Structure 1
Amino acid sequence: MVRKPKRLEKGDTVGIIAPASPPNHENLQRALQFFDELGLQAKLGKHLDNTKGYLAGSDEGRLSDLHEMFADKNVSAIFSACGGYGTARIASGIDYDLIRGNPKIFWGYSDITFLHTAIGKRAAMATFHGPMLASDIGKEDVLPLTKQMFSQLFQPQDIVYTEDLSPLETMIEGEAEGALTGGNLSLLVSTLGTPFELDTRDKLLLIEDVNEEPRAVDRMLNQLYMSGKLSDAAGILVADFKNCVPEREQTLTLDEVIEHYVKLAKKPALKGFNIGHCSPNIGIPLGVKATLSTSAKQVIIESGVE
């Protein structure tokens, strides 16, 4: 049974960490102003300003910030400043008993997908796949809908995703329900064969990605298919695949690649969700029950907070 974190209230303190790559600090400062507008106090991770190549400092430092935020009783939620690369490097060092004993909102996407999968599996806690501070909220052209999705953290509410949010296309007809899992395709595939391997059995699987050629998406979906992850799923949600365009003349299209594997899976599937590296970027909880209906062209996701 997945455990839901407590909802936010105005005046709460939230932790800001960079478990992957270093954030753009100008964007981060703008995002902190947004949190101030929400009535939240921000506590910055001690290693937030660190850099080590493409990492936000050492593995030990990034892990320490994560642990400190979960251990601090005054911190009600933890937000990732950005994605990039590096969360998988710290996954084996995480104290999942600490997280299980201190459930709180954990929010991010992209490279953070590895932590969503690991925390869901080892700590049985609902987490949130949503826009990050420096890479989304702090941009000057951020859309209001992206910001509005933070309201779900203050009041338990189902996310009802219909064509009011974006055009949806039926790939395989049917109805399905189960816990929602998934995220960035590249990171999901990287969990295979590790102690944090993606579990899709009787679940709704969400996939998205960015800057991957169709041939790379083909390779990753083929690995998910051969490992049984597509066939095990109750249903499939195909979200945004931003800039996943070919660099060569002889190629399959992205749509052809995705359609091939969805048909092999033979599970109810919808595509067109504005979730991932897109604008707007719709924030959603993971680990909670969701229902998919191709006839209604909608997905209803249970609240991620209590």
Structure 2
Amino acid sequence: MQRPSCLQPGDTVMIVAPSSPADFDKVLLMKQKLEAMGLRVLLGDSAARQRGYLAGTDAARADDLHLAFSHPAVKAVFCARGGYGSARLLSLLDFPLIRRNPKIFWGYSDVTALHLAFGRHAGLVTFHGPMMEECGGGGVDAMTLSSFEQLFTPQFIMLAAQDEYIYPSFSSVTAPLTGGNLTVLASTLGTPYEVDTGGKILFLEDIGEEPYRLDRMLNQLKLAGKLQQCAGLILGSFSDCAPKRQSSLSLPEIIYDHVVPYGIPILSGFPLGHCRPHQGIPFGVPVTMNGEDQTLVFEPGVK
């Protein structure tokens, strides 16, 4: 896995929208915040485009990504918004181009499809972090914005679990990190871009999915052999995933049914995903799960 180079004051970055259209005013506000960090900011055409629920045509959004990775001055690529649509680009992308030009790539949610593809087909360390639209909007907290500091200086990140669920006891395990949004991840199964969990720690998060839907997707991962192969499981935020009916299993019960029987180390309750604060983390680098103090330690994602 290639770690991209860290950012320096004066570097140029580019904002693109590989999925749904973004609130352009909020993107412009985040552009100003990035400029206040000492960066120069280019806006991809997709950042201001809309075609129904997409930020322009598939070809145009793919071209934006190709331009960002091939542009000699651009050092980082930030996604404007999630929503839906990044998986439509996978068959259009030039992965050898991306491999030849390893750069910081930052986003989450629907962008999970690109994280998986860039890791598997371009060997690139990428970053699961807050979108430009949400950071440009009101109410963004200092911890969320401080996530970007890891892009300027190689640094270890430590997070403490907030949940007290009793999962299999373990001391510690270290392995490369993969994963992302559960819904998007499940949709890649059976394709050339599906998640590779072999010997890796799997991270999952989601939003707006009732427990029975989470159950269905975790069962799908289990039937595909993805849960049995992983070295550990990290659960981030599952915002707005409460049951809308009286009779329902809880997420901990679903995890017990599908994952615990394999004896896989599990930690949960981290500010990762659709939540505030929202901590950015690198994919593709080793992370250490410590079962004794319920912490995670991520190795630096940049060099």
How does the TM-score come out when normalised to structure 2? 0.97
1:226 aligns with 2:219: no
- Quote the offset at 1:245 in angstroms: 1.6
Tell me if 1:188 matches 2:179. Answer: no
> Secondary structure in 2 aligned to 1:281?
coil
**Cα distance, 1:121 vs structure 2:** 0.1
Residue number in structure 2 paired with 1:208: 205
Aligned pair partner of 1:277 in 274, 279, 282? 274
Q: Quote the offset at 1:170 in angstroms.
A: 4.9
Which residue is 2:167 aligned to?
171
Structure 2 vs 1, CA of residues 168 and 81 (structure 1 numbering), >3 Å: closer, same or farther?
farther
Q: Which runs of 4+ in 1 moved over 6 A?
A: none
Pick aligned residue for 1:138 from 136, 139, 152: 136
RMSD, aligned CA? 1.2
Q: Which amino acid aligns with 2:256?
A: E
Distance 1:236 1:121 in 2: 19
**For 1:96 and 1:26, how far apart are their aligned partners in 2?**
31
Deviation at 1:197, TM superposition (A): 1.2
Q: Deviations over 1:183-202 (max 9, x none)?
A: 10011111110001110011
SS state at 1:247 partner: coil
User: What is the distance in 2 between the residues matched to 1:84 and 1:53?
Assistant: 12
3-state SS, counterpart of residue 35 of structure 2? helix
Shift of 1:250: 2.3
Paired AA for residue 300 in structure 1? V
**Paired AA for residue 103 in structure 1:** P
Aligned-partner SS, 1:189: helix
What's the CA shift string for 1:147-196, capped at 9, x where partnerless? Answer: 00100000001111225xx4565522212211000010011111110001
* Distance in 1 (alpha carbons) for counterparts of 2:29 and 2:262: 43
Unaligned runs of 5+ in 2: none
Number of aligned residue pairs:
302
Give the match for residue 156 of structure 1: 154
The AA in structure 2 aligned to 1:215 is Y
Paired residues of 1:158 and 1:300 also in contact (CA < 8 A): yes
The answer to whether the 8 A contact 2:233-2:267 is kept is yes
> Per the alignment, in what secondary structure is the counterpart of residue 252 of structure 1?
coil
- Provide the rounded CA distance (Å) in 1 between the counterparts of 2:228 and 2:55: 37
Over residues 91-119 of structure 1, what are the superposed CA-to-partner deviations in whole Å (9 max), with x where a residue is unaligned? 11110000000000000000000000000
Q: For the residues of structure 1 that align with 2:249 and 2:160, how far apart are their CA atoms?
A: 29
TM-score when scaled to structure 1?
A: 0.96
Q: Is the CA contact 2:24–2:47 (under 8 Å) kept in the aligned structure 1?
A: no
Partner of 1:301: 298
Alignment-derived partner of residue 102 in structure 2: 103
Letter in 1 for 2:156: D
Instruction: Report if the CA contact (8 A) 2:160-2:270 is conserved.
Output: no
Contact 1:172–1:270 (CA under 8 A) maintained in structure 2: no
3-state SS, counterpart of residue 21 of structure 1: coil
Percent of aligned positions that are identical: 45
Moved more, 213-222 or 40-49: 40-49
CA contact (8 A) 1:170 1:297 kept: no
Q: Where does residue 35 of structure 2 map in the other structure? A: 36
Give the Cα–Cα distance (whole angstroms) in 2 for the partners of residues 86 and 119 of structure 1: 16
User: What 5-or-longer segments of structure 1 have no aligned partner?
Assistant: none
